[in-house]
Amino acid sequence: TTREWQAADAAHFLHPFTDFQALSRKGARVIERAENIYLWDTEGHKILDAMSGLWCVNVGYGQQALVDAATAQLKQLPFYNAFFQTATPPAIELAELLAEVTPPQFQHVFFSGSGSEGNDTVVRMVRRYWDLLGQPERQVIISRDNAYHGSTMAGASLGGMSGMHAQGGLPIPGIVHIGQPYWHEHGKGLSRDEFGLVAARWLEAKILELGPERVAAFIGEPIQGAGGVIIPPATYWPEVQRICDQYGILLVSDEVICGFGRTGRWFGCETMGTRPDLMTFAKGVTSGYVPLGGVMVGERIAKVLIEKGGEFNHGYTYSGHPVACAVALANIKLMRELKLVEHVRDDVGPYLASQFATLRDHPLVADAESCGLMGAILLAKDKATGTPFPESVEIGMVCRGHCFREGLIMRAVGDRMIIAPPLVITRQQIDEMMGLIRRCLDLTLADAKA
Ligand code: PLP
């Protein structure tokens, strides 16, 4: 029974990013099956998953092609590694296919088991690159406040979440942060486009403060996901690219969320118009069916690593895991077959944007915006002035509670309610989701008034 699951869970399972005491008081919601964009819990409730699990189930749940690929590979060869000059066919085939679907500067991949490990790889790889070029003093990586790049020591250090830094004495040396391009936080009095340039130039100011000869790379998510789906102004990324080019600094695009169609192009950097030197990915590469991550390595770096490098003393047991790679191959082929990137770019992405725009009429909503299939709704006490609710109200958590009860999974990040539904979602399902969102906003409003 659900109670038994909850009791065993509270007794033994330390959940990630969870208040252990709150969990044991309330009991976990136990999810036991899924199909398409819907989940069912052990109480039989049907839930529309507007978060694709954790931003990963891009092709939706229950895709037989992925199950078949995993089963066949488990029978044929469940594991072999890629260390010491060995390889497996699925890993080789996936490397080749990734070179095809990613922007042309990417012809090589380094596999990891997760996005966090991918970002750890980035830290070591950029430092190695500058070492090999005889510039070992180029050590510093610049990132942004409120970024999320994973939970390992390097990943959490690259991230800009103060709550994470506070636990474990982070960031590690050599990682510094600038402000995030969040207009509602920093941009008042400026147009969005003016603010985009201002925010990008914080990078230039930091480079000049540190001395360009000490800076190795800049890392960013094309759209910050876990930070609250912060969609930067259109002027931001082109200016960041100009600055990186001017000072010869490597640009790293963390595509763990934005990759594999989320923004309506294969990769977020294509939507934002940048040419990164490195690109981390995970999640959508397998639609989350099995764990896999990695780093796409641009030719500027690959050439140096290969020609000057010798051995790169880095790698994971599961780098290029054959079952994960087989599932990724099936996933990418299915995305192509279903034309999912085009579906997001030309159909459901613009449709979601048009529906989100209508939410701005709601008395609680100060802003609602989306890009592809990522969206955020900003809740405010006074929408005209943008005055937020006091933190003690925890308005996002109130709204999330209503979503839970009404059969909708949305995530709350402070006062931002965010969505990233599976890319297979239809217009009709977007209408269903919007109906649920409006209902939950109304219930939240009633609570806020009470
Ligand atoms: N980078 C970004 C942008 C992410 O959103 C995440 C996870 O949400 C990560 C990295 C870390 O990936 P993982 O949880 O697979 O380690």
Give tens-digit pLDDT for 372-390: 999 999 999 999 998 999 9
Closest atom, ligand 1, to C-alpha of 258: 3
Q: Which atom of ligand 1 is nearest to the CA of 114?
A: 15
How many beta carbons lie within 10 A of that of residue 49, not counting itself?
24
From the CA of 449, how far away is ligand 1's center (Å)?
37
Backbone conformation region of residue 429, classed left if phi is above 0, alpha if psi is from -120 to 50, else beta: alpha
**Residue 3: in which H helix or E strand, if any?**
helix 2-12
Q: Give the closest residue (by CA) to ligand 1 atom 7.
A: 150
Task: Describe the chain by its helix, strand, coil percentages, rounded to 5.
Answer: 45, 15, 35
| pLDDT, position 163 | 95
The per-residue pLDDT for 449 is 87
SS (H, E, C) 393-447: HCHHHHHHHHHHHHCEECEEECCEEEECCCCCCCHHHHHHHHHHHHHHHHHHHHH
Q: Which CATH number fits domain 36-59+339-449: 3.90.1150.10, 3.65.10.10, 3.30.420.10, 3.30.365.10?
A: 3.90.1150.10
pLDDT in tens, 280-318: 999 999 999 999 999 999 999 999 999 998 899 999 999
Share of the chain above pLDDT 90, in %: 98
Query: Degrees (nearest 5) of the Cα angle 358, 361, 364?
Result: 120
Q: How far apart are CA 265 and CA 438, in angstroms?
A: 28
Is the pLDDT at 419 greater than 90? The verdict is yes
**Joined tokens for residue 215:** 């800076």
Mean pLDDT of 422-433: 98
Q: What are phi and psi of 376, to 5 degrees?
A: -145, 140
Pocket of ligand 1 (CB under 6 A): 54, 114-116, 119, 148-150, 221, 225-226, 254, 256-257, 282, 293
pLDDT tens for residues 61-120? 999 999 999 999 999 999 999 999 999 999 999 999 999 999 999 999 999 999 999 999
Q: Ligand 1 center to residue 190 CA distance, Å? A: 32
pTM: 0.98
DSSP 338-380: TTHHHIIIIIIHHHHHHHHHHGGGSTTEEEEEEETTEEEEEE-
Chain region(s) in the chain for CATH 3.90.1150.10: 36-59+339-449
188/402: higher pLDDT: 402
Confidence band of 450 (pLDDT split at 50, 70, 90)? confident
Left, alpha or beta for 297 (phi > 0: left; psi -120 to 50: alpha)?
beta
C-alpha to C-alpha distance for 130 and 126, rounded to whole angstroms: 6
Read off the tokens for 208.
């000049």
**Looking at ligand 1, which atom is closest to the CA of residue 55?**
8
**pLDDT score recorded for residue 55:** 98
User: What mean pLDDT value characterizes the chain?
Assistant: 97
> What's the confidence (pLDDT) of residue 34?
98
CB hemisphere CA count around 131 (13 angstroms): 11
pLDDT digits (tens, 9 = 90+) for 139-151: 999 999 999 999 9
What tens digit of pLDDT does each residue of 398-418 get? 999 999 999 999 999 999 999
> Which of 15, 56, 116, 121 has most ligand 1 atoms within 8 Å of its beta carbon, as the pocket-test mutant?
116
- pLDDT at residue 154 tops 90: yes
Out of 3.10.20.30, 3.30.420.40, 3.40.640.10, 3.40.718.10, the CATH code matching 65-337 is 3.40.640.10
- Decide: 227 and 146 in contact? Cβ < 8 Å: yes
ipTM above 0.90, yes or no: yes
Span 33-56, pLDDT tens digits: 999 999 999 999 999 999 999 999
CATH 3.40.640.10 occupies which residues in the chain?
65-337
Specify the pLDDT at position 354. Answer: 98
